[in-house]
Amino acid sequence: MYIQINEEKIKLDFNSGITVSVDGPDTSYYVEINEFQKNNDAPVQVEGYNISSDFNSRYLRQNFTCPIEFYFNFQIKIYKFIDKLGLKLIFTHQYDDNNKLVLFNLDTNDYNEALLWVDRIKKYQSINGCKIMLESQYENLNKSFLSFYQTKNLDLYKTYKIGRFPKTSNDWRTVDSRKEGLIWFGNWKTFWSYQHPRFWKNISSQEIVDDILGI
């Protein structure tokens, strides 16, 4: 997804976590992600740092990334530095998949489980108003949504992968001994892996999909 704001061209991608890049005249931009928690109108910061629009920069990353793949109610803010004024907010985006195409990828060999997960996906749709595209090994389920027959102008807003995925990350957040067994963001947000808010071994099929979709 591309957005033009004056001289800045902003790219957002929510298909494997969150990725933000800015192509503009300034050498750096500050990007932050905030989360709106239930029953709280004030968002809390999850992550924030400077990125560079200069692809030859040796000191700053070109992309802002947050590898969380499951649902959370996030907001992106982008700032630029203005002489004598400091940081100025130039762009805000609130996650909202209403009337947008969302891909749900089911990783299961159990047809009945796939049926259950599709039912919960429809529940997610009733809450958020997205358009469903389904990928699974069951063609009849995939074809049950009109998006299966859409072959042009496929602009995916978000991808959700639903299954039982091992924890494969080995970044410093994953191995941080202060929150052993959990990943820690913003000194407050903890979860089991970037794919699952909690370990799936001892929870039901419905709890797995509900965790991922934030139901």
CA dihedral (54, 60, 63, 67) in degrees, to 10, reads: 170
CA neighbor of 211 nearest in space, from 164, 173, 170, 166: 164
pLDDT in tens, 9-46: 999 999 999 999 999 888 889 999 999 988 778 889 99
pLDDT in tens, 141-154: 999 887 766 666 67
Please list, residue by residue across 108-137, b when 16 or more beta carbons sit within 10 angstroms of its beta carbon and e when fewer do.
beeeebbebbbebbeebbeebebbbbbebe
- CATH architecture of the region 2-94: Sandwich (2.60)
pLDDT in tens, 76-133: 999 998 877 788 999 999 999 999 999 999 999 999 999 999 999 999 999 999 999 9
Domain boundaries in the chain? 2-94, 101-164+200-213
pLDDT of residue 53: 78
In 129-204, where does DSSP find H-type helix? 139-142, 172-175
Tokens representing residue 34 in the block: 């905030």
